[in-house]
Chains A and B, each alone.
Chain A
Amino acid sequence: QQPVQSPQAVILREGEDAVINCSSSKALYSVHWYRQKHGEAPVFLMILLKGGEQKGHEKISASFNEKKQQSSLYLTASQLSYSGTYFCGTEPSYDKVIFGPGTSLSVIP
């Protein structure tokens, strides 16, 4: 029941855009997005809830297609600080979050 993420890895130059996708085979209550830098704990970016509500940082953009159980995270005008591993987490029920394998993002000058 682990969600699928794509791509597995991406390399960007500063200023370029990227999209990270997440999909699940189960009906979802919500989708979470977190970023983790090497050696650190994951940090919250955004939650997208069934019904359209979103919670998170204003500079982060994401979408949630409830019918297809798919979510996408949009990173625009990338900065060096965007580098890290991005995880999507899905809530198939009202009690736990299951994370995907992650997408490694590297931003180079």
Chain B
Amino acid sequence: NAGVTQTPKFQVLKTGQSMTLQCAQDMNHEYMSWYRQDPGMGLRLIHYSVGAGITDQGEVPNGYNVSRSTTEDFPLRLLSAAPSQTSVYFCASSYGTGDEQYFGPGTRLTVT
């Protein structure tokens, strides 16, 4: 199993550009989440999904969109990048409530 994969590993964007961060898992997990990590702020939940076709907002959803058309994939879209979105983004998945979350390796995004 590859586990949770994320692409790209690094990305530099200019203000106003859009892009999609990819996340995929091959463990047949129902639950998937996106977090951003900034120094001193911990991991903050952006969006999450409890199954294909079901998504919901987390703590910091503004400026991001998600969709979940398959169990395996959970892409995160930045609509119009801003410097405040400079961060490390982690995707995580789990079987369900009360289960271990498996994290991807992260995407380091810089917006100039």
Contact = CB atoms under 8 A, between A and B. Distances in A.
Nearest to A97: B101
A100 B37 CA distance: 11
Contacts of B101: 32, 34, 42, 44, 89, 97
A94 B98 CA distance: 8
B98 A95 contact: no
Given A41-B106, A95-B31, A99-B43, A1 B98 contact: no
Contacts of A67: none
Interface residues of A, number: 27
Contacts of A99: 35, 42-45
A47 B99 contact: yes
Interface string A36-79: 00001111100101000001100000000000000000000000
Contact of A87 (B43, B99, B105): B43
Indicate the size class of the contact surface on chain B. Answer: 20 to 34
Contacts of B106: 41
Given A44-B101, A47-B99, A98 B45 contact: yes
A41 B45 contact: no
A102 B98 contact: no
B48 A2 contact: no
Interface of A: 1-2, 29-30, 32, 34, 40-44, 47, 49, 55-56, 87, 89, 91, 94-102
